[in-house]
Amino acid sequence: MTETRNDMPTEHETAAEAARLEAEAEASAAGAETAAIIDRLQQERDDAIAARQRALADFANYQRRSRENEQRERFNGVVAVLRTLLPVLDHFEIAVSQDASRLTVEQLLGGVKMVQAELIKALETHGVQKIEARRGEEFDPYRHEAVLRQPAADVKPNHVVSCLQSGVMVGDMVLRPAKVAVAPEGE
């Protein structure tokens, strides 16, 4: 006797097949959703990398421009100072070109004073100020340099007796303190 098999799936097989197909569909949907998330994250990463590279390039350009601007401003500052010193150089050239045999001491001294005045004027245009230390003025270690102690009956201790060399400052910055003699304490 031959047995004939019914090719019709059983109810159990149909349910199992449906569950398998549903699981595959869910997995496929989850895979598609995961793939979409991965694609979105990769795009965000690529965008972030590109933004970082642009920011680094912008910063490098900023640094380069800053260096160039600083160098240009420094050069312009030097040029400005040199332009104000050119008249001083002109006065020196005039003085040196004079016939020495025809000059008197007074004329020579007058020429030197004129050059000195022109130099002071040029320096003042750039904010340079002379530090004058006057007799009896209180000693200021920021503006004065005590090079010797000199007794003086009419000057209080730690006060300037005499100025040996003027000082120089620009704004609040002392380039060279005035060299002074100071009255000692207790004498």
Residue 18: the pLDDT is 72
Residue 12: the pLDDT is 66
Residue 119: the pLDDT is 92
What is the average pLDDT score of the chain? 89
Tell me what the mean pLDDT of segment 129-140 comes to.
94
The residue ranking higher by pLDDT, 8 or 84, is: 84
Q: What is the pLDDT of residues 135-187, one digit of tens each?
A: 999 999 999 999 999 999 899 999 999 999 999 999 999 999 999 999 998 75
Least confident of 25-34, 94-103, 125-134, 152-161: 25-34
| Domain residue ranges of the chain, discontinuous segments joined by + | 9-126, 128-187
Q: What does the alpha-carbon distance between residue 77 and residue 65 come to, in Å, rounded to a whole number? A: 18
| Most distant CA atoms of the chain, gap in Å | 155
- Which of 2.30.22.10, 2.40.10.340, 3.40.190.10, 3.30.9.30 is the CATH number of 128-187? 2.30.22.10
SS (H, E, C) the chain: CCCCCCCCCCHHHHHHHHHHHHHHHHHHHHHHHHHHHHHHHHHHHHHHHHHHHHHHHHHHHHHHHHHHHHHHHHHHHHHHHHHHHHHHHHHHHHHHCCCHHHCCHHHHHHHHHHHHHHHHHHHHCCCEEEECCCCCCECCCCCEEEEEECCCCCCCCCEEEEEEECEEEECCEEEECEEEEECCCCC
Residue 161, both tokens: 């007796």
Residue 139: the pLDDT is 96
Q: What does the alpha-carbon distance between residue 183 and residue 151 come to, in Å, rounded to a whole number? A: 5
- pLDDT range class, residue 8, cuts 50, 70, 90: low
Closest by Cα among 130, 120, 127, 128 to 88: 120
pTM of whole model > 0.75?
no
- pLDDT range class, residue 91, cuts 50, 70, 90: confident
Q: What is the pLDDT of residues 112-123, one digit of tens each?
A: 898 999 999 999
